[in-house]
Amino acid sequence: MTKQNLCRTFYLGSLCLSILLTISSSQASTVNFSLHSIYLPGNFSSGGFITGNFDWNYTAGDFENGSGQFNALDIPGYGNDLSGLVITIELKSIEISLAGNFHDKNLDISLKLATELSPTQTSLLDYQHSSYELSATNKGRFSSGSIVPAAVPIPATAWLFGCAILGLFGCNKKNSQAG
């Protein structure tokens, strides 16, 4: 086998492999969302913003039937322990509450969204229907906040595909100059 044929075979094989990997990895997708500027009025030493992020896992082409799970969550007056919380994430709402009474603290947070979660668009809170209760005296409605999707990174298979294409063109250019 000549060097030219070996080069073409290598790059065509890389191209085929990257196409197969792209197709197989596109079946499942994940979007990471961040809680942005969700403000809890009140006196909190660490500030009054709920912070955190969660992943929404779905099958490609079926975002609506996915499911979400928080990776991190920090609630003023409560902390960041996820183990004692019951969290339900849906396209139009996020509900956070305690599984039971935890050190005499109430915790009931209802984040209703004005628009459904989207892998590409920010979803604003519906301030009229979003509410919180952290104790008998610390409850009310939110006045700011949104759920923001993270930028979707280019998958490694796309980089491999691009490199294989560039290599194939480079190999052809080198061979055409030699001939």
Q: What is the pLDDT of residues 71-129, one digit of tens each?
A: 999 998 888 999 889 999 999 999 999 876 555 567 899 999 999 999 999 999 999 99
The pTM for the full model equals 0.69
Please write the tens of the pLDDT for every residue from 20-32: 445 444 578 999 9
- Of residues 67, 63, 146, the one with CA closest to residue 111: 146
* E strands in the chain: 28-36, 38-39, 49-59, 62-74, 85-89, 93-98, 108-112, 123-124, 131-133, 139-141, 146-149
Model confidence at 158, pLDDT cuts 50, 70, 90, reads low
Strand partners, 147: 35, 123
